[in-house]
Structure 1
Amino acid sequence: MSDYLKALALSSALSLASAPTQAAPPQGIRLVDARHKAIALPRPAQRIVSLQPSFTEAICALGGCQALVGVDRYSTWPMQATTLPQVGSIRDPDIERIIALQPDVVLARPNHRVDERLERLGITVLTLNAQSYEDMERELETLAQLLGRPGDGTRLWRQTRERLEALRRQMPAQWQGKKVYFELHSGMAAAGEASFIGQTLQSLGLVNIAGRDLPMYPKLSPEYVVRANPDLIITMADLPVPPPERQGWGRVTALRGNHYCRIPNAEFDVLVRPGPRIDEAARHIVQCLQRMPLPAGGMDASKR
């Protein structure tokens, strides 16, 4: 684990531990999930199976790692999660192994039929589906309540937003107001302005070429990107820049100025997971911009 992650984990743990935590109500835990379905547990969850890396990270950031008894194969943070039994993924869950772990609750995303299969077998499923900052705030507090720590999710989110604001102040002034294209899945999708990734970019003062009139994760044609002419492109490290098959991209301002962030795959995971480490995602972007040549005609620092 990097020094940053150690510091983040320690800071969150100390802050949450020192904050007053209300006891679970006598009637137990009552929540509403992403399906608008009421979920009831007689007490805070003691045995949790997570089928999504962002859920695993959130549970651990809230101090509940010890409640996890199984995780999906993509849960790689924190290190403690990698030692837990793996139960496949949201797309190919190992149902028999999940049952053998005797969970109080399984955390899943809706619309994958996993919830239906498990609930038919008598297992409680809580579905979550954060797509924006507002969703993430609610999701963190839902998980805090699941752990019997109401209020901790709201506090963790407030700390995260404070770190994001500090990172915005570290942005080179010349990048304020510049256009950005954030590519996902080798061009199969982009991060739209309304998505949580788009909100992170906006929080840093960047302007997304995939505006709010588009879906959260639209597929943008190469021609669209050329017309939008972004000043900055953010992709995974294994994608060649510019992609040889994309005609006209040599004219894009970002490529002519070598203004692109090719984020290593392991770090790219942090950028695309709607969890408690979005401030670390923002830090990767800020550090990339601090290293690259400055663009022409940026906003004056006094106007930020």
Structure 2
Amino acid sequence: MTQYVLEVEPDVDESSRRLAEELLDEWGIIPAGETVRIARLSGGASNVNLRISAGESTWALRLCDPLGERWGVDRAATIQAQNDAAEMGLAPRVVAQKMPAGHFLSEFVEGTTVTSEYVREADLLEPIARTLRELNAGSTTGRVFSPFRDLGTFLEFGDGDGVGFAPQITDELAAVTRIRALFETRPAPRGFCHSDLVPQNFIRHGDTLSLVDFDYAGTGWVAFELASFSCQAQLDAEETHAFLSAYDPDYDEGQAARVELMRAIAGIREACWAYMAEPILSGSTAPLDGWTYQGYAANNLAQARGVLADGRLEQYLSAARHVRPGALF
């Protein structure tokens, strides 16, 4: 039973308020008589993120959509990965959780939410590369991540819902088959990867970057990690070179080709997610103001097609097959 005063911002819907109150009561972290303030945080898509403030303490509360399988999310692995990253000083620590639903409360990181524009304004390519290299060198016991498995999941659920996206990307899916065969056959480097590197999943505080939203984190291909960020930040060729050079000054043609191939995969995966998600989420949630599912899908698909255009697929496949000993991605 609630023993504190609750103040809720108008943008928090009633069902989220009730669930947040139930969880806070169950976890027992709020002192009796304290005033608790609940506000909606931006982002989340299939989840609802809330800021919980009480006295001098602030937390982030994630309320998870029950359809984790549809989104390709393992709730236990998400929490495990975030805590593994927190042990490395790269993410906020999870302080309470509700399983199997996957709801959790974590430390709140005060700082600036990074955007594509801010990456350039604040010259963040090198700090982001450094942060990712540190994370990728670590380990997590949560799960093994594959963007190919996600892509298939999103297509299947979309097809089942009558979205009919697959016929629009026949050529791209043929390329996916060949790229998947390469990565599942060749010894491309793996590491602890976040795997969902929209710039907004970085929080800058002082000279430090923290990562949030570990829904897709696990042991994965480092090339996809770098490609995911390059795609979502819409880095051009010169910026991509600067980013990869900051990560590995000795990167070679094979490494560059693997990132380009995975950039195509990242774009197709995100487009498939958006088409699958739109009928379900468009009426209730959007990750950012002004953001649309169709616009997001179109942008990601354009990036994928840019990689695959003009016969470059064959060139990238040929170069990517050579994995130099000691290569980082």
Q: What TM-score results when the alignment is normalised by the length of structure 2?
A: 0.28
Q: What TM-score results when the alignment is normalised by the length of structure 1?
A: 0.30
More helix by share: 2
